[in-house]
Structure 1
C-alpha cells in the first residue's frame, strides 16, 4: 500500500500496530512508528474541527484529575493553533510542553510550528524555527522539508533552497517523497531554474495536479507561452483537468513577466472551459487590463464582480484601483476607493500610487 503511494489513515495504522503486537515484532512496529512521524501523522479530531475551547477544556479537566497531557495531545493542540493562524498560542503551548518533564518537542511539534508560520505568510520566521530545530538535533521529516522549501520559494532564497535539496538527495527517502518533490518543483520554477524544474518534473512518477500547476506557473513566470500550451495539451491527453489554481498561475505568471496578452489569452481560455474565476483570478485579470490599458474589459470584469456580489476584498479592491489608474481614470479609481467598506494599508497604498 505504501509502495503504491497511498497514505495510511487513522483506521489503518492501529491495525498495523496490532499486527506487529500479535507477531511480537517490535522492530517492524518501531519502523511503522518512524514512518508515521515522517509523514507528519499525529492528530486529534477536535482540533481539526477548530474546537479549541473543547480541546483545551479537556486538557484542564485532565490536569484536575491528575492526568497530564502527553506529547501527542500537546502536538494536536499546537498543530491546530498553528494551522488556524493563532501562532502566539501555538508557541505558548510549545513552550509549556517543552517545560513538562520528559516531554521534549519532537519532529511533529517543530513541524507544526514551521508549517503554521509558512502557511500564514511568515516564511522568514518559519526558516528561523527550522534553524533552531536543526541546532537541537531533531531530524526533519518530509512535511518539514516541504514547508521549508516552500518558505524558500516565497522568499526567493535560491541558495538556501538548493542546500536543502542537497540534504534531501543525501537522504534518498526524502528526495523521493511526493510532497517534497512537488515543493522542490515549485521552488525551482519560481526561482527561475526551469531546466532543473523540468528534470524534477520528469522524475515524478505519479504527477498530481499540484505537480502540473507548479510546472505551468514556472513557464508563465519565464514567459514561455509555447511550453505552457504544450503542457496544457499534455495534461488533457493524461485526462487531468486544469482547475482555478492552474489558470491563476498562468494569468498572474505571464502578467508578472510583462506579457499581458498571453495572460489575457489564458483568461479567455479559462472562461471557454467554464471554470469559475475566484478573487485571485479577478485580481490577476484586472492587472492584465491595467497592463494593456484595456478599460473596456476592466469595466466588464468590474460589472461581473458587482453582478455576482463578489466581496471587494483587499486584492480585488486594490486591483480595481490600479486598473482604472493605469487606464487613465483617476476619477473611477477614487470612486472604487470610496466604495470600499474596509481600507487597509494595501488599499491606501493603491490609491496613493494612483494619485501619484
Structure 2
C-alpha cells in the first residue's frame, strides 16, 4: 500500500513538473505588474501557487519589476522557503533601496535557516555599505569567515566595496592583499577606494602596479585614474593617461569615461582641451554636458557655463540634478537671482528631487549669495532630513550678512537636532561669536572642538580671529604659539588680531618676523601692517612696507591702495596720498571717502570739496562717512553756508537720513560760528534724542565764544543728559571751572564719580630711529 502511494505521489509530482514547464515561457514574457499579477491569479486557480518552482518564479518576477509588497506576500505564505527564496527577497529589497529592511530580512533568515550560502552575502554587504553601517558590515564579514566563504571571488569583491565605501582603507587593503586571485574588477575597486577617500596618490601607485603586472585595464579603471589626476592637478600624468586610453582604444564609447576626462581637463584649467574632447565625443550625453558646465564653473567662467546649459536645452538633452546643481552654482556666483529663481521653478515644475546630489544645498547657497536669506531659509525648512552641508551653507550665509544672532541660533538648533558639527560649521559659529563679541559661547565652542578632537589649522585660525575680535588677545597669542604656524592665514590672523586691538607695534613686530623667516605674505598681510603704520604714524616704516609690497610682486587691489593713501595722509604726506589715489585703477566709495577725509583732516577744505564734487560727477553716490567727512571739513574751516548746503543735499539729493554724527557735525559747525541758538534749534528738531557728541559740540561752542549765559539757559538739558562718555563730562566740568561756576563743576564731577568715569589721558607719539 505504501509502495503504491509512493508511486502515485511520484506520478503526481511528474505531472506537476510537466505543467510548470508549460508556464516557464509565460514567466519570461511577464514584464509588468499587471501581467505578473494575472499569471499569479491563474496559478492560484490551478492550485499551483504553493509549488516551490512556481513560488520561486513568482518571487523572481515580482523582484524584477520591483513589487516588494507582492513578493513579501508570496514569501510569507510559503511554508518552508529555501535559501534561494530568502536570497531573492533580500536582493529585491536592495534593488528598491530598502537597505535597512534587507538587513532585517538577513537576520530573519539567520534565525530560520541557520546556515547560509555564498550568494546571500553580496546583497547584504551592499545594503550595509549603502547606509554606511560599518559595524553591521563587520558582523557580516565575521559570518562569512565562520561559513568559510571568504575565498569566494564575488564575496571578496563585495567586502572590498563595503570597506571602500565606508572609508575603512585599512580593512579594504587587508581584504585585497588576502585575495588569492585578483581580476580587473578587484584592482579597479581598490583603486577607486583610495581615490574616493582622498588618497589619490596611492591610487595612482596602484594603477602603475596594475600596468607592471600586466592586468588588462578597462574603462572603469581609467575613470578612477582620470579622477585622481584631476584631484592632484597632475596635468602631465593626466594627458599621458588620456593617451593610454586612445592607444589601447579603452572605452571609446564609454559615456562615464569621456565625461571624467572632460572633468579632468577642467580641473587642470585646460578648458581648450576639455572643449575639444567634448566636441569630438562619440555622443554627447547628459554627463558630458554636465562635466563641461562644471569645468567652466571651476575656472570662473560662469557665463560660459550658462551658455552651455542653454545650448544643452536647445539640443533637447535630458537634464539631471547634477546639471541643475551646477547651473544654480553659476547663477549664485554671478549674483543672478532672477535666473536662479527660474531654475528653481524648473525644478519644482518637473518634480526634480531637491535632496539628490545636493541640489537643495545649491539653492540655499544661491539665495544666501544674492542676499535673500529668507528664501534660503524657506528652502532649508522645506525638508525633514537636512544634510549637514545645508546647515553649513545657511549658517555661513548668515555670518556673511553679519546676522550673527541668526547664525548662532541655527548652529545651536543643529546641535539640538543631534547633527555633529564639522570644522566648517564650527568655524562659522566662531566667526559669528567674533562679530557680536560673544566670548562666552566662543569659549564653549572651543571646548567642543577640544572634546571632539576636531582641532586643525582651519579651526585654530578661526579661534585666533574670534578671541581677537572679542578683545582676548592673550588667548589668541596662546593659540598662535601652540599652532604649527604653517600657512600665511595663521600669521595673518594674528597680525590682524594685534592691529584690531590696538597692538600696532606688536603687529609690525610679527610682520618683521615673517619677513626675517622668508615666509609667504599676501594682500591681507600687507593690508594689516599698512593699517598698523597708519595707527602709529610710522611713515618711514610705511614707505618701507610699500617698497616691499612692490618688490614681492603682491597683487595690489583697491583695498591695499586705499589703505596706502590713508596711511600717507594720516602720517602727513598728502602729496603721496594723492599720488596713490590718482594711480588707482578702481576706486570704491571707501576710497573716495578716505581721500575726502584726508583733506578734511589737514584743513584743505577746497581740495576736499573738489574731490567730493568729482566723485558726484562720476555718478558715485556718497555714503554716511563721505558726508560726515565733508561736514567736518566745513565745520573746521568755518564754511557755514556750504556745511548747511551739504547737510540739506544729503536728504534732498541723495535721500539719506542723517544720523547722530551728522547732526553733531552740523551743531559743531553752527556753534563754532557763534550761532548757538541755531545749533540749539537743530538739536530740538532731531528725530531722536541727542547724545553726548551733539551736546558736547554745543558746549564747546559756548566755551569758544564765552557764552556762560547760554550755557545757563540750557543747564537743565545738560544735567539731565544720560551718557557714559567721560569726554563730555570732562568738557562740561572744564567750562564750568573756567567760568567760576564751582557748584556746577562739583555736580558734574560727582556725576562722573557715581558713574565710575575717568578722564582719558592724552598722549603724543613720535617715531625714533625707524626700522629700515
Q: Compute the TM-score of the two structures, normalised by the length of structure 2.
A: 0.35
Q: Which residue number in structure 2 is paired with residue 331 of structure 1?
A: 474
Q: Partner of 2:290 in structure 1? A: 146
SS of 1:62's equivalent in the other structure is coil
Task: Tell me if 1:201 matches 2:379.
Answer: no
Q: Structure 1 residues 142 and 334, CA, compared in 2 at 3 Å: closer, same or farther?
A: farther
1:189 counterpart residue number: 332
Aligned mate of 1:173, from 284, 309, 317? 317
Rounded to whole Å, the distance in 2 between the matches of 1:136 and 1:203 is: 30
- Map of 1:1-356 to 2, 5 A cutoff? 44-50=188-194, 52-62=204-214, 72=219, 75-76=222-223, 78-82=225-229, 85=232, 87-88=234-235, 89-98=237-246, 100=247, 108-109=256-257, 111-116=259-264, 122=267, 125=269, 127-134=271-278, 140-154=284-298, 156-174=300-318, 176-204=319-347, 205-209=351-355, 210-235=358-383, 240-312=384-456, 314-341=457-484, 343-354=486-497, 355=507, 356=528
1:18 is matched with none
How far is 1:249 from its partner?
Answer: 0.5
Aligned-residue RMSD, C-alpha: 3.4
Deviations 1:116-154 (A, max 9, x none): 476xxx4x7164542343465676543343344345445
Offset at residue 280 of structure 1 (A): 0.8
CA offsets, 1:282-327, max 9 Å, x none? 1111122222232222221111111222122x32122112222222
Flag structure 2 segments of 5+ consecutive residues without an equivalent. 1-31, 33-65, 67-94, 97-121, 123-184, 195-202, 498-506, 508-527, 529-772
Provide the C-alpha distance between the structure 2 equivalents of 1:200 and 1:140, rounded to a whole number of angstroms: 22
SS at match of 2:353: coil
Alpha-carbon spacing, 1:228–1:338, altered in 2? closer, same or farther (3 Å)? same
Partners of 1:342 and 1:105 in 2: CA distance: 48
- For residues 333 and 117 of structure 1, the distance between their equivalents in structure 2, rounded to whole angstroms, comes to 42
Higher radius of gyration, 1 or 2: 2
Equivalent pairs counted in the alignment come to: 303
TM-score scaled by length of structure 1: 0.72
Are 1:114 and 1:148, in contact at CA under 8 Å, matched by a contact in 2? yes
Helix, strand or coil: the match of 1:242? coil
Tell which has more relative contact order, 1 or 2 (C-alpha 8 A, sep 6+): 1
Alpha-carbon displacement from aligned partner over 1:214-247 (angstroms, at most 9, x marks no partner): 1122222233233233323322xxxx41121011
- 1:58: Cα distance to partner? 3.0
Distance 1:126 1:324, change over 3 A: farther
Cα shift at 1:96: 4.0
* Structure 1: distance between partners of 2:442 and 2:334: 31
Per mean C-alpha deviation after superposition, the further-off stretch among 209-218 and 185-194 is: 185-194
Assess, with a 3 A threshold, how the Cα gap between structure 1 residues 135 and 154 changes in structure 2: closer, same or farther.
Answer: closer
Query: Compared with structure 1, are the counterparts of its residues 74 and 213 closer, same or farther at alpha carbon in structure 2 (3 Å cutoff)?
Result: closer
Is the contact between residue 279 and residue 315 of structure 1 (CA under 8 Å) also seen in structure 2? yes
Query: Does the aligned pair in 2 maintain the 1:149–1:187 contact within 8 Å?
Result: no
Please give the alpha-carbon distance, in whole angstroms, between the structure 2 residues aligned to 1:215 and 1:47: 33
Are the equivalent residues in 2 in contact too, given 1:78–1:113 (CA < 8 A)? no
Q: Is 1:317–1:340's contact at 8 Å kept on the other side of the alignment?
A: yes
Distance 1:155 1:54, change over 3 A: closer
| Residue pair 2:265, 2:273 contacting (<8 A) in 1 also | no
